[in-house]
Amino acid sequence: MSASAAQAPVLQYDTQGLDKETLLRLHRNLVLPRLIEEKMLILLRQGKVSKWFSGIGQEAISVGTVCALEQESLLFPLHRNLGLFTGRGMDLARLFAQLQGKKSGFSKGRERSFHFGALEYGIVGMISHLGPQLALACGAALASVLDGKPEPAVAFTGDGGTSEGDFHEALNVASVWSLPVIFIIENNGYGLSTPVNEQYRCATLADRAVGYGMEAEILDGNNILDVYRRIRYWNEEMRSNPRPVLLEMRTFRMRGHEEASGVKYVPTELFDEWAPKDPVVNFENFLLAEGILTEQAVAAVRAACKEEIEAAIAVAFPEAEPEYDLAEELADLYAPSPASVTEGVAPAADAPVQELRLVDAIQDGLRESMRRHPGLVLMGQDIAGYGGVFKVTEGFVDEFGTGRVRNTPLCESAIVGTALGLSIKGRKAMMEMQFADFVTVGFNQIVNNLAKLHWRWGANADVVVRMPTGAGVGAGPFHSQSNEAWFFHTPGLKVVYPSNPYDAKGLLMASFDDPNPVVFFEHKALYRSVSGQVPQGYYTVPLGKAATARPGTDAVVITYGAAVHWALEAAEKLSQEGTGEVEVLDLRTLLPWDQEAVAAAVQRCNKVLVLHEDTLTGGIGAEIAAWISEHCFAHLDAPVLREGAYDTPVPFAPSLEKAYLSKGRVEGRMRELLGW
């Protein structure tokens, strides 16, 4: 077929301002992912690929976007954005190894398909939940603004994903903070099998931008030149005038959500309508008709792409299945921590010492960390001028400014995600949950994004989440919960819970030195009721190390947080009356917890009570008690006892709350233990 005989394109292309080199680059970048898709569908039918999320018919969105951006702009893709990966020049052998779950892929076989990131290519991996990556783009964009070099971050979502709360939270944060984020909705008509008329009622998804004071555009997502031109415009515009934009790109998914789901739920007439709008065929026919391409050139491009694909498959597919290596899995769970985190740093010998309450020590540690880490950004509700509801950050704006001490909208999920985005761009970030109870609305970001990121594909999640927690202040069931056990069960997190001012400051500074995600619990009832001697200046208390709060020989209470003080009070009473000498071991870090210190305490004392404020069933004490029974049984002279709160929500009335908590039962349980 000659160029003059090429089929006329259905789509209308405007090449004004685009040179031939750009047009040919766009063409090749369109062809490569299409040919990869066609090859993968063959391999899928042959049983050589386990699953495939096809982007056939949608390639112009990814390719037009990636070709219009600078290489350093971060991309936050979804399932159907193969063109982003190939457009960034990703090594195909390694990409195919990733898709096969092989060791040489980007996640060592730990992730499937496109659930991975590769920062060397500027790509941040998604998780299966469709909304969280949008807030990460906010964090990346914020980092560029704080650095004085605004740079757009590009986040993709589907039409179905716009129903997620994370979508709305991310748009609101980006708009309120004027962040250079390009939010792209790939509106292909279906969220798996759910059509758009069952997803939203607004006339267009672009209309949703109005509620956030944000500009929006509707684009033909199959027209690569329209996509390229508008992304290029926003790429340049945001660098001089940072602000977000919402781009609804209309397209159609020519295959199923994934191949196994099929397309029986899609009316045939939709395929008839969209098939002539194929973005690859149309653009190629246009270039042929315009004489920019020849048949020979098309054949050469396709042959070169196929050769590249086959060569990569020849490398990736014969690779053996990965073998499970427990030591490697555990080693990759956390990023390497500096000695200040693992061993601790003593205060300067001449450091002045002052009497501080727990809340003051936390404030002091936070201020020292802000000075030590110039890239550290603090975020939370009311933490700027107001200083937070507990006044921990009071006065911080005066020293560090509103860029680094930021009031946030009430959107916990988006702010945790923004913190992670800051980390991906090399900054440290802290988010203050106003109350630990409110973490439920940011839970997904913590347990699925923060916790798994480094293990998945090697990026650091350098984030501290501060959690004012605990009962005893008459705050009722939604401001008094002890929820540390939720995070204790999540590999990849570190969970810290100090009981005294010295440890609180040192543990907090160690948490900020650590490149790993830390959930840092601060007991509200201890804020202003407990004080102690705290050195000025920098020092750290090592994470993962317990401390003996009181020596003893007859029994040991293993505990943390406010319960340390309950145990100390009861132990002192029993000592004074001559009943026995009870040791109190303060865990300080709950994940990873100090098994060596626990084993040594059991060997010294032979009788054990595990105590916590949290409800008894499913609490951290259950794990520790089980571990002691399994690993230290020969040293026990009595059953391992546990004590915790009753298995109900936290009541409001002081009399009810007092009875609910285990404080009043600690002494009795100690006597029971000593009586064995």
The CATH number of the domain holding residue 126 is 3.40.50.970
**Worst-scoring range by mean pLDDT, 145-159, 173-187, 252-266, 571-585?**
252-266
Asked whether residue 517 falls in the same domain as residue 554, the answer is no
Q: Is residue 241 part of a domain?
A: yes
| Amino acid at position 291, single letter | G
Q: Is residue 472 part of a domain?
A: yes
The H or E element that residue 641 is part of is strand 641-645
**Domain range enclosing 654:** 547-674
Q: Is residue 508 part of a domain?
A: yes
Indicate the number of domains in the chain. Answer: 3
* pLDDT in the model for residue 6: 61
pLDDT (tens digit, 9 = 90+) per residue, 594-649?
A: 999 999 999 999 999 999 999 999 999 999 999 999 999 999 999 999 999 999 99
State the pLDDT confidence band at 190, using cuts at 50, 70 and 90. Answer: confident
Query: Which residue in this structure is represented by tokens 């109870």?
Result: 437
Q: Is residue 71 part of a domain?
A: yes
* pLDDT in the model for residue 267: 85
- Cα–Cα distances (Å) from 202 to 162, 196, 399, in that order, read 12, 10, 45
Catalytic residue status for 168: no
DSSP string, 11-71: S----TT--HHHHHHHHHHHHHHHHHHHHHHHHHHTTSSS-----TT-HHHHHHHHHHS-T
Please name which of 392, 380, 390 lies closest in space to residue 431, comparing C-alpha atoms.
Answer: 380
- Does the model's pTM come out above 0.75? yes
* pLDDT in the model for residue 330: 96
The CATH number of the domain holding residue 650 is 3.40.50.920
Q: Is residue 91 part of a domain?
A: yes
Looking at every residue in the chain, the average pLDDT score rounds to 94
Asked whether residue 459 falls in the same domain as residue 394, the answer is yes
Asked whether residue 70 falls in the same domain as residue 146, the answer is yes
* CB-CB contact of 228 with 191 (8 Å): no
What tokens does 676 get? Answer: 């064995």
> CB-based burial of residue 239 (10 Å sphere; 0-12 exposed, 13-18 middle, 19+ buried)?
middle
Q: Quote the crossing angle between the two packed helices 165-176 and 133-146, to the nearest 10°.
A: 10
Asked whether residue 455 falls in the same domain as residue 573, the answer is no
Asked whether residue 159 falls in the same domain as residue 229, the answer is yes
* pLDDT in the model for residue 4: 38
Q: Is residue 441 part of a domain?
A: yes
The one catalytic residue in 27, 115, 168, 479 is 479
Asked whether residue 144 falls in the same domain as residue 278, the answer is yes
The residues, ordered by sequence, that sit 6+ positions from 172 with a Cβ below 8 Å of its Cβ are: 212, 409, 411, 414
Q: Is residue 72 part of a domain?
A: yes
DSSP string, 616-640: STT-HHHHHHHHHHHHSGGG-SSPP
